[in-house]
Chain A
Amino acid sequence: MKGKPMVVLLVEDEPAHAEIVRRNFADFHPANRLMHVPDGQAALDYLYRRAEYRDPERSPRPALILLDLRLPRVDGLEVLKAIKADPKLCRIPVVILTTSAAETDIFKAYDNHANSYLVKPVDFLQFVALMETLGRYWLMWNEIPLLDRA
């Protein structure tokens, strides 16, 4: 168990879904910081501290990335590839969080070294349970590699 607040980057184009995740984090993991970007391009800008995320204060290194697959502009899979191909970013656990249960999506995600693949449950209580477990596992039990704080 770690006492330090952790940064979680949520890449989600659907504002409603982002709101659901935000509410769950507020309920279960209030100590952690949830950063939300609405598309793939924004995610890359955030990670590479470009454009509006140039200021490191606005783009703290995340300990976990929650990545949707279908995103405007740059697709989630492209973001995943970019992260895993970059030695400075590749150690950050990337958990795919998407509505798609399509086999091709699952295969492509793991082929590109996703650390986990989760399908958003349609049922509300299951969604809540998933978010609680997810935070517990990835933020409390899981060992996070030392990240570049620059």
Chain B
Amino acid sequence: MSSDADNRQRSLREKAEAMLAQSHRERIDFSPAEFGRIIHDLSVYQLELEIQNEELRGAQGQLGHTRDRYARLYNQAPVGYLTLDASGTIRQANQTFADMMGWECADLVGRALAGFMAGSGHDIFLGRFRSFFNNPEGKSIDTVLHGNGARSFTARLTGRKETDESLYPRQEAGKAMLLVIVSDISAQKAMEDALRQEQDTSRLYLDVVGASVVAIRSDRTVSLINQAGCRLLDYPQEEIIGADWFERFLPERARAEVEAIFGRLMTGMIEPVEYTENVVLTRSGEERIVAWHNTVLRDGAGTITGTLSSGEDITERKRAEEALQRLSLVAAHTTNAVFIADAEQRIEWVNEAFTRLTGFAQIEVRDRTLYEVFQGAETDPITVAAIRAALDAGQSYEGEILGYHRSVSTYWTQLFIDPVRDADGRVTRFIGVQTDITARRQARLELQEKNAELERFIYLISHDLKSPLVTIKAFLGYLEQDLIRSDAARIAQDMDYIRAAADRMGQLLEELLSLSRVGRVTRPPVRVECRDLVEEALRLTAGGIVERGVAVRLEEMAGTLVGDRTRLLEIWQNLIENGVKYMGEQTAPCIEIGAERRGWELVFYVRDNGMGIEPRYHEKVFGLFEKLDPKSEGTGLGLALVKRIVELYRGHIWLESAGAGQGTCVRFTLPEAIEQRSEIQA
């Protein structure tokens, strides 16, 4: 036992002796036996007391150790501890807090904590303190504390209501106290600030970019959307964040498909689809097409937590593309031939119809000029010059032009060429559309021909039919005079003229009627052998043949015709009659009739050795009422009638004659009357 302990024991003894002396206890006399017993008891008691005392001293020492350990813990804790009273005054502070502040602990006690704050921090702290003091659970106050000198730091204050009064400073017993834990969060704050700044910058980036950026959590809710995304969907950000993306922003019909992809993305079953297109629904219910670039988001452990997508509203582009696609479909599939040429009038593109019309495919005409493609030997150079002039001047051209197919056949087209200009008015392209009007043009030419024929008919009424009438009336007048004068010779002459004119009128009317019936009145087609037809024609014209003594040679006549028998017969009948009629001075008149093959065509002929026809009249003789010999009996309708019948069967008729006195050969074809089978046999 230490001397310190001995001293204490001695002082305790002295204290006890003094107390005993003052107690005025009655002195009692004891027998020696009693003394002996008492002394024994006292000795035992003394020992017990000494043992007790020793134990107490041990306990006290242990308590001291414990107290020191706790004090060390308190003072050397990594955080500052403060005990505040209800007024916010510091009642106790640990060494850590004192170190934070650069003060001595003792100097801090009795000061208001708010006194170490400045500006708005000070006011905010005071404003919040009461509620913090009364109910500190789960709360924290971040504030800047200014310590000794220039020392200051950001402190996070969290509190706990102190209930163990024994822990209070001695003099504060019975008052409510708040234990405040002070953490220096300057570093954390700086990091948080930096992080926040970074986040703000990121957010700024997100909001600045034109694309919509959307993050979707694995639970399908939106965790992030930027301003472009909000504008696209036309909702405020707070209404979008947390909403179910699929439920809210996708039209029902598209939902299942996108959800399925999302689901598989979430489970990692498929790799992120780099690029997708889908429709989103805006607040007004409008659908917008969005092209997305997607990636998956993972947490630290690599688990997929959601998707991040940037999307671009391609609705307008898509519509424009569709419109363009539709237009290009029109251009590609129209039956009109379409070409696009550059500003230099070189072809860039042609459609299928162009290839069908011209026989040239895109690659064959690319970079060739329009003129190379259209021009041919018979193309009107004036038309080509007009096109070039219009295009060089940047103007439209519209007109008809003869084009050349690659197989050198020709076609007529209605051609429209329009210049296309850029915003500055410069010609950048030409678009040409061609309509095949070969058939239309042919029909028009035929119509013009028919019109011309009709005009001749009208002419006939005013001249050829009137002419015999003039004769009749005039000679009736003379007849009257001659009857009065009884001039027998003149009377006979007058009557001859009248009779001839009347006959002529009758014949004219009959032939006109016949002519007008060709093609208008049709009898059902019948099969007839060419040879039979010619033989019948010869029988019908036998009178003239015999009278003029014409020798007839019927040559090779294979073939069968199908058509109007009467009309077909009229062809040969008229031609034979003409041959006989215009035999002239021929002393050995002869007519040859036959057919020969020229290429794939069967060409019929009726040849005579009569007076012949000068080449310059070869066309004219086929016109209505055209006669070469004014003295002949004909009406000028015979060959016109034959021509009409031949044309009815899509044939041609022409004359071959070296001239006057050289004989005449009339040749003709009847393509549509020739029976195909017999043609093969022939």
Contacts and interface: CB of A to CB of B under 8 A. Distances in A.
A binds B: yes
A17 B467 contact: yes
Nearest to A102: B462
Contacts of B471: 14, 16-17, 20
A38 B475 contact: no
Contacts of B462: 99-102
Interface in A109-148: 120-125, 127-128
Given A16-B500, A39-B630, A125-B477, A102 B470 contact: no
A20 B474 contact: yes
Contact of B469 (A13, A101, A122): A122
A127 B474 CA distance: 8
A142 to B, nearest CB: 25
A128 B477 contact: yes
Interface string A4-40: 0000000001111101100100000000000000110
* Chain A facing B: main interface SS: loop
B497 A19 contact: yes
Residue among A70, A101, A122 with most chain B CB within 10 A: A70
A88 interface: no
B115 to A, nearest CB: 126
A38 B477 contact: no
Residue among B467, B469, B476 with most chain A CB within 10 A: B467
B501 A70 contact: no
B463 interface: yes
* Chain B facing A: main interface SS: helix
B617 A73 contact: yes
A72 interface: yes
B582 interface: no
A99 B466 contact: yes
A13 B477 contact: no
Nearest to A14: B467
Contacts of B476: 124
A70 B463 contact: yes
Nearest to B490: A23
Contacts of B467: 14, 17, 99
Given A16-B497, A17-B471, A38 B466 contact: no
A93 B625 CA distance: 28
Given A16-B497, A17-B471, A102 B459 contact: yes
B473 A122 contact: yes
Contact of B470 (A23, A71, A122): A122
Given A16-B471, A38-B631, A124 B617 contact: no
A124 B477 CA distance: 6
Contact of B458 (A20, A98, A102, A123): A102
A39 B493 CA distance: 23
Interface string A69-109: 11111000000000000000000000000111110000000
A147 B617 CA distance: 33
A16 B631 contact: no
B657 to A, nearest CB: 15
B169 to A, nearest CB: 139
Nearest to A103: B462
Contacts of B617: 73
Contacts of A122: 466, 469-470, 473
Interface residues of B, number: 29
Contacts of B408: none
A100 B625 CA distance: 14
Residue among B462, B464, B617 with most chain A CB within 10 A: B462
Given A99-B462, A122-B466, A127-B474, A16 B627 contact: no
Given A17-B467, A17-B470, A20-B474, A72 B500 contact: no
A12 to B, nearest CB: 9
Contacts of B239: none
A39 B478 CA distance: 25
B628 interface: yes
B470 A73 contact: no
Nearest to A121: B470
Contacts of A38: 630-631
Interface in B634-673: none
Contacts of B286: none
A72 B617 CA distance: 10
B547 interface: no
Given A16-B475, A19-B497, A98 B470 contact: no
Nearest to A101: B462
B422 interface: no
Contacts of A19: 493, 497
Interface in B587-644: 617, 625-631
B498 to A, nearest CB: 9
A70 to B, nearest CB: 6
A99 B505 CA distance: 15
Nearest to B464: A70
Residue among A16, A70, A98 with most chain B CB within 10 A: A16
Nearest to B476: A124
Contacts of B473: 122-124, 127
Residue among A72, A122, A127 with most chain B CB within 10 A: A72
Given A16-B471, A99-B466, A125-B477, A72 B459 contact: no
Given A13-B630, A23-B478, A127 B470 contact: yes
Contact of B627 (A72, A100, A124): A72
A43 B469 CA distance: 25
Nearest to A24: B474
B582 to A, nearest CB: 13
A72 B466 contact: no
Contacts of A72: 626-630
Interface in A47-71: 69-71
A97 to B, nearest CB: 11
B499 to A, nearest CB: 11
A102 B467 CA distance: 14
Interface in B466-496: 466-471, 473-478, 493
Contacts of A17: 467, 470-471, 474
Contacts of B626: 72
A24 B625 CA distance: 28
Contacts of A70: 463-464, 625
A15 B497 CA distance: 9
B166 to A, nearest CB: 141
Nearest to B471: A16
5 contacts: A14-B471, A17-B470, A71-B630, A98-B463, A127-B477
Interface of B: 458-459, 462-464, 466-471, 473-478, 493, 497, 500-501, 617, 625-631
What 8 A-B pairs come out closest when comparing CB atoms?
A124-B477, A16-B471, A13-B630, A100-B463, A99-B466, A38-B630, A16-B497, A20-B474
Interface of A: 13-17, 19-20, 23, 38-39, 69-73, 98-102, 120-125, 127-128
